[in-house]
């Protein structure tokens, strides 16, 4: 099953202007809250961004690989808390949300 999922994986880079409804946002929030972490410490905070102006600014927050965010209906900012897990600064946390719009 995992191999099938990997083979069907796509990276969405173009979005419609249609906003996500509350039901989709709630489902995404629930999925994020259920994500496992070491010792259930959950050393992160997830911030949903739907404001188009803020998404455009976030698209410029890093030099490469985020420009597609300017047209996305949703961005998820992942904030790691080194006070909960001191080793969090030692790894790169990458989170991508793909939504077929």
Q: What is the pLDDT along the chain (101 residues), one digit of tens a residue?
A: 778 877 887 777 778 878 889 999 999 888 888 877 777 777 778 899 999 999 999 999 888 878 888 888 898 888 877 777 666 544 444 444 444 33
Distances in whole angstroms, Cα of residue 28 to Cα of each of 22, 67, 74: 10, 22, 11
Is 32 a member of any domain? no
Is 65 a member of any domain? yes
The total domain count for the chain is 1
| Token pair in block for residue 90 | 């030692």
Strand partners, 44: 80
Is 2 a member of any domain? no
Is 101 a member of any domain? yes
Is 91 a member of any domain? yes
Rg of the chain (C-alpha set) = 15
What is the extent of the structural domain holding 74? 37-101
Is 67 a member of any domain? yes
Is the pTM value of this prediction over 0.75? no
| pLDDT score at 56 | 92
């Amino acid at each position: 099953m995992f191999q099938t999922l990997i083979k069907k994986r796509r990276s969405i880079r173009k979005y419609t202007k249609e906003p996500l409804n509350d039901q989709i946002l709630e489902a995404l929030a629930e999925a994020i809250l259920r994500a496992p972490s070491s010792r259930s410490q959950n050393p992160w905070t997830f911030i949903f961004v739907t404001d188009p102006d803020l998404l455009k600014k976030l698209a410029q927050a890093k030099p490469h690989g985020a420009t597609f965010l300017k047209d996305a209906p949703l961005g998820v900012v992942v904030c790691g808390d080194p006070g909960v897990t001191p080793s969090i600064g030692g790894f790169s946390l990458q989170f991508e949300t793909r939504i077929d719009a």
